[in-house]
Amino acid sequence: MSVDVISSSSSRSVRDTLKDIISALIVRSPLIGLLMKRTWVYADESSKFIAYTDGLRIYINPRLFSMLRSEEKAGVLAHEVMHIVLKHVTRAKRVRSLFPHLSQLAVNVVADAKVNHLIMTEFKLPAGAITPHDLANILDMDVEEVEESSFEELCEHLAKKKPTVVISSDRWLELDVFPESSRVGGEEGAQRARGDEDNRKSSSQRDLIVLNEGDAEDASVSSEEEMENRAVRKYVESLTVAKMAGKVPGWAERVMNEILKSKVPWQRLLRAFLTKGIGKKVKRTWSRPSRKHPSFPGKELLKADKVVVLVDTSGSIGEKELQQFISEVYYVAKEVAEVVVIPWDATVYEEQVIRRPDDVKKIKVRGGGGTVIKPALELAHKKYPDNMKVILSDWYISDLDDVKTEQLLRAHADNIIAVTTSATPPSYLKKVVKMEVM
């Protein structure tokens, strides 16, 4: 990132204002004040929004920020820093992996409501700020239920609503926006994306003016995991200091619990991808009448036909990882009529068919050699071209750059769930699950 510490006149004025606001906050609201003092703030004069965050740093438009009243400026800063604390940028990505049709803009509405619920009694927010009451109206829920539900739970509720119900005006964009949230899908999203292309450039591609120097360690952090770890660490440390000052908001401990367990469980993500990918067959049956209408036949869910599971058994896979892979085969077998297990390392081994979950006990694991996935992909491509495929691996695969390997992966990308315990699968594989080894 190229940084200019010599500010323009508008940015210089805002920098002085920020310094005064942070100093006042440290006395009035130590937790928020300390967090702000440790957060990098940059001037983004090309932004069409007052402020936004990339998950660790805050970017504000000096001109738009200067138009706010003094108390609203503090509210905007508190709002953005709480987005960082609550890890909303990375949590939003995980939620949208579960519900791909849920727009980033809709997720931002939920995140705003959760943040503002915490700070709106203490801080003045600009007109149009999203409240739990607004979200309750969108979701047809009680305000209390919205306030008590997690970010992920509310996004799940929102995903079940028709998209046209969610976004009705530009009001949702007036306060802040996550990076790339203008890409909301459909013609409206396309227009916003075209119009905001300059505003959506990576911060590394633009010269930015520093308005507040935060922790030195944060300046170059780029990975999502590092960003989350830094956000949690700063919150814990700032909360400790705030407690010593005797000024801690009532929601502080709740937030602590939330950010320590906010990740969508990888098991749930995997099974959500699986069930959406394979679908379910339904038939009508008179042996089980409809509960709502007893005079009509009920539904009987039938298992999908077949899923192919490619299990990495190479030398880089530890015993715990392999046991967990086999455990996941068991759960896949509970969802489908037949699972074809293909063990592989530098070669591909004999397929093993699982027709009942208990058959998992009969799986014979061979391997321990190098990690070359092409032979297993060729077998799956030849015999099971149209079936859903789950690849269980640490993704330290030596032939990922091989042209034929990439062609095979791309050819089946829509039907592949890439499960990794370590390295990141190729970016063209969109259904990716990070498995935590227990």
Min mean pLDDT across 140-154, 195-209, 417-431 is at 195-209
Same domain? 173 vs 108? yes
Q: Are 83 and 176 in contact (CB under 8 A)?
A: yes
Query: Tens digits of per-residue pLDDT, 271-328?
Result: 666 666 554 444 444 455 555 555 555 544 444 578 999 999 999 998 888 988 988 8
**Span 166-173, mean pLDDT?**
42
**pLDDT attached to residue 194:** 32
Instruction: Please give the Cα distance from 122 to 106 (Å, whole number).
Output: 25
Band (pLDDT 50/70/90 cuts) for residue 364 is confident
Q: Are 310 and 384 in contact (CB under 8 A)?
A: no
Residue 300's DSSP bridge partners are: 283
Query: For residue 19, is pLDDT > 90?
Result: yes
Same domain? 292 vs 406? yes
Same domain? 109 vs 36? yes
Using CA atoms in the order 188, 116, 136, 174, what is the torsion angle rounded to 10 degrees? -20
pTM for this entry = 0.60
- DSSP designation for 315: T
Same domain? 39 vs 185? yes
- Mean confidence (pLDDT) of the chain: 80
Same domain? 172 vs 285? no
Query: For residue 116, is pLDDT > 90?
Result: yes
**pLDDT attached to residue 237:** 92
Query: Tens digits of per-residue pLDDT, 211-262?
Result: 999 999 998 888 888 898 899 899 999 999 999 888 899 999 889 878 876 5
Task: Work out how many domains the chain is built from and give that number.
Answer: 2
**pLDDT attached to residue 26:** 95
Coil vs helix vs strand at 35: helix
**pLDDT attached to residue 323:** 87
Query: For residue 86, is pLDDT > 90?
Result: yes
Q: How many CB atoms lie within 10 A of CB 261?
A: 8
Same domain? 80 vs 163? yes
Q: Single out the residue in 248, 263, 278 at which a domain terminates.
A: 263
Same domain? 272 vs 249? no
Min mean pLDDT across 63-72, 123-132, 153-162, 349-358 is at 153-162
Chain centroid to CA 244: 34
Q: Single out the residue in 230, 263, 296 at which a domain terminates.
A: 263
Same domain? 148 vs 246? yes
Residue-number span of the structural domain to which 51 is assigned: 2-263
- DSSP designation for 198: G
Same domain? 29 vs 143? yes
CATH of the domain at 281: 3.40.50.410
**Span 413-418, mean pLDDT?**
90
**pLDDT attached to residue 328:** 84
Same domain? 257 vs 143? yes
Same domain? 244 vs 287? no
Same domain? 336 vs 253? no
Nearest Cα to 405, choosing from 429, 383, 437? 429
